[in-house]
Structure 1
Amino acid sequence: MRLIPCIEMLYKTEHPDFIQRFHAAKADGFDAVDTWLWRDKPIAAMADVVAETGVQVFSLCADPRASLVNSAEHATVLGAVRDAVPVARRLNGRGPAARIILASGFGLPGQAESDMRANAVTVLREAARIAADGGATLLLEPVHMVIHGNLMAVRNIRQGLDIVEEVDHPALQLLADVYHHAVDGQALEDAFDSRTAALVGHVQVADYEGRHEPGTGSLPWAALLPLLKQRGYTGAIGLEYLPSLPHAESLALTRRTLGL
């Protein structure tokens, strides 16, 4: 399994300049990075540094964010996917390598879970078709976040796997964020149930609590990664955490804890 640093978090303190974080990742031996929203980024400069360093953008987020579970926002979702496809391809290439992240948006008060899920499935089927036609892959990311008492509609890995399975399109996979899943309080083995990791396109890690590097919290890393491997996951592990140590020490602890 290869490691992918999220440069929205890692290297930020040492390198306020976003482009310099590609060089820092290269110096640490990484060949790709994760990012978040792209519209406020210097895309031309990113393309240049990708070409210069060989450090590609592993994933980026559809921008603007919009709700999958609210049908009134579906046109925005589909437009964001259309706009992100050429950017993802420019920074990483065609096919599964061009990855675009989508989150569900917040739950709708008064709306049944089944209706929200149906809305998500409907828009994701169309979004996956758009992504596939453009040569990209979508990653659905369950996110446990609460604002004003309102939870995200898809907030744990099991919910995400259920939706990806129902959409049943090769251009849609799950982004399994171990930290957000831990916040939701569900065991990883229960999330997968009897399913393999064939539906998973990316995994991101941070320890719980604190969202710092693996090895600083309570998550059972010695069991989590073997579980993923047993379920057939051989892909990348994204480092989406807030460093609590200088970056060299942080990465060393992460590598020791993950055994990678």
Structure 2
Amino acid sequence: MKLIPCIEMLYKAEHPDFVERFRAAKADGFDAVDMWLWREKPLDAIVDVMAETGVQVFSFGVDPRASLVNPAEHATVLAGVRDAVPVARRLNGAHMILASGFGLPGQGDGELRANAVKVLREACRIAEDGGATILLEPVHMVINGNLMAVRNIRQGLDIVEQVGSPALKLLADVFHNAVDGQSFDDAFADRIELIGHVQVADFEGRHEPGTGRLPWATLLPLLRQHGYAGPIGLEYLPTLPIAESLALTRRSLGL
């Protein structure tokens, strides 16, 4: 397993210039990074620094964000995926991230899930035609009393399995899963083949592993036991200078 820093969080303090974070990641031995939304990013400069350093973009967010569970926003979701596919190609096959959006008042879990499955099947056809891959990310977030519809790993796996497309995998964010109350064992008990990426941050606080109360010594052995050999994304807010933060993370994860 290799580590992939999210350069929206890591290197931000040391390198306000987004492109410089690729060079910093290279200097620390990384060969890929994660980033968030793409439309305001300097894509030409990113493509150039990727060629210069060999550091690839592993994943980025479909932009704009829109709801998978609200049919009124499905056209926006699909337009965002269409726009993201050529970006994924420019970034050498980077994965495209979608989150569910917030649940809707008066709709049960079954209806919300059916809405998400319907639009994801259409999005996957677009992705497949363009040779791209979508990552569905469960996110536990509450804004103005509204809770995200898909907020833990097992909910996400249920949807990915039901969509049944090779163009769709799960982004298993350990921090959001912990906020929702699932343990590592509950989250990763089965269907590991449907997971395309794992991201980590400690709970509480969303800081580097080793600063909170999650049992990190058990995570990687559990993932290996179930057959996961993919990347581990570092999507946390550092509390230490970057060299010390990465050292603590590596010790905590056992990498």
Q: Any conservation in 2 of the 1:12–1:21 contact (CA below 8 Å)? A: yes
Whichever residue aligns with residue 222 of structure 1, its letter is A
Q: Any conservation in 2 of the 1:31–1:54 contact (CA below 8 Å)? A: yes
Whichever residue aligns with residue 84 of structure 2, its letter is A
**Alignment pair present for 1:155 and 2:151:** yes
Write the distance in 2 (CA, Å) between the matches of 1:16 and 1:120. 36
Q: Any conservation in 2 of the 1:9–1:243 contact (CA below 8 Å)? A: yes
Q: Any conservation in 2 of the 1:196–1:232 contact (CA below 8 Å)? A: no
Identical positions, percent: 78
Aligned partner of 2:119 among 119, 123, 128: 123
**SS in structure 2 at match of 1:132:** helix
TM-score (norm 2): 0.98
**Alignment pair present for 1:165 and 2:147:** no
Q: Any conservation in 2 of the 1:210–1:217 contact (CA below 8 Å)? A: yes
Aligned partner of 1:184 among 180, 185, 193: 180
**SS in structure 1 at match of 2:246:** helix
Whichever residue aligns with residue 15 of structure 1, its letter is H
**Alignment pair present for 1:227 and 2:222:** yes
Q: Any conservation in 2 of the 1:202–1:238 contact (CA below 8 Å)? A: yes
Write the distance in 2 (CA, Å) between the matches of 1:191 and 1:244. 27
Q: Any conservation in 1 of the 2:210–2:249 contact (CA below 8 Å)? A: yes
Q: Which residue of 2 aligns with 1:82?
A: 82
Q: Which residue of 2 aligns with 1:252?
A: 247
Q: Which runs of 5+ in 2 are unaligned?
A: none
For residue 91 of structure 1, report the CA deviation from its aligned partner.
1.2
- Residues 110-163 of structure 1, C-alpha deviations (whole Å, 9 max, x = no match): 111100100000000110111111011000000000001110000000100000
For residue 227 of structure 1, report the CA deviation from its aligned partner.
1.1
Q: Which residue of 2 aligns with 1:9?
A: 9
For residue 201 of structure 1, report the CA deviation from its aligned partner.
0.2
Whichever residue aligns with residue 247 of structure 1, its letter is I
**SS in structure 2 at match of 1:66:** coil
**SS in structure 1 at match of 2:66:** coil
Aligned partner of 2:96 among 78, 85, 100: 100
Whichever residue aligns with residue 241 of structure 1, its letter is Y
Q: Which residue of 2 aligns with 1:201?
A: 196
Write the distance in 2 (CA, Å) between the matches of 1:192 and 1:206. 16
Write the distance in 2 (CA, Å) between the matches of 1:188 and 1:6. 21
Q: Any conservation in 1 of the 2:157–2:191 contact (CA below 8 Å)? A: no
Write the distance in 2 (CA, Å) between the matches of 1:251 and 1:188. 22
Q: Which residue of 2 aligns with 1:218?
A: 213
Q: Any conservation in 1 of the 2:188–2:223 contact (CA below 8 Å)? A: no
Q: Which runs of 5+ in 1 are unaligned?
A: none
Write the distance in 2 (CA, Å) between the matches of 1:251 and 1:192. 25
- Residues 210-236 of structure 1, C-alpha deviations (whole Å, 9 max, x = no match): 100001100001112211111111000
Q: Any conservation in 2 of the 1:207–1:215 contact (CA below 8 Å)? A: yes
The number of residue pairs the alignment matches comes to 255
Q: Which residue of 1 aligns with 2:138?
A: 142
Q: Any conservation in 1 of the 2:152–2:182 contact (CA below 8 Å)? A: yes
Whichever residue aligns with residue 101 of structure 2, its letter is G
Q: Any conservation in 2 of the 1:19–1:49 contact (CA below 8 Å)? A: yes
Q: Any conservation in 2 of the 1:107–1:152 contact (CA below 8 Å)? A: yes
For residue 188 of structure 1, report the CA deviation from its aligned partner.
2.3
TM-score (norm 1): 0.97
**SS in structure 2 at match of 1:166:** helix
Q: Which runs of 4+ in 1 moved over 6 A?
A: none
Whichever residue aligns with residue 91 of structure 2, its letter is L
For residue 177 of structure 1, report the CA deviation from its aligned partner.
0.1
Write the distance in 2 (CA, Å) between the matches of 1:109 and 1:73. 15
